[in-house]
């Protein structure tokens, strides 16, 4: 059973070093 924290930790490990891309997505979401 996967918890939200497990998913978040997995995504952080998988996309570590791509934080700038995540920030861009968040900014685009704000424009919505």
CB 22 within 8 A of CB 15: yes
Hey, which bits of the chain come out as E strands? none
pLDDT at 21: 65
pLDDT at 20: 61
pLDDT at 17: 61
Closest CA to 26 of 17, 18, 10, 13: 18
% helix, strand, coil for the chain, step of 5:
75, 0, 25
Residues 6+ apart with CB under 8 A from 15: 21, 22
pLDDT at 25: 72
Whether the model pTM is above 0.75:
no
Per-residue model confidence as pLDDT tens digits over 1-32: 779 999 888 888 887 766 666 676 777 777 76
Give me the residue spans of the domains in the chain. Answer: 1-32
pLDDT at 13: 84
DSSP string, 10-23: HHHHHTTT-HHHHH
């Amino acid at each position: 059973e996967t918890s939200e924290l497990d998913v978040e930790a997995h995504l952080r490990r998988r996309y570590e070093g791509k934080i700038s891309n995540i920030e861009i997505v968040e900014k685009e979401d704000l424009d919505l």
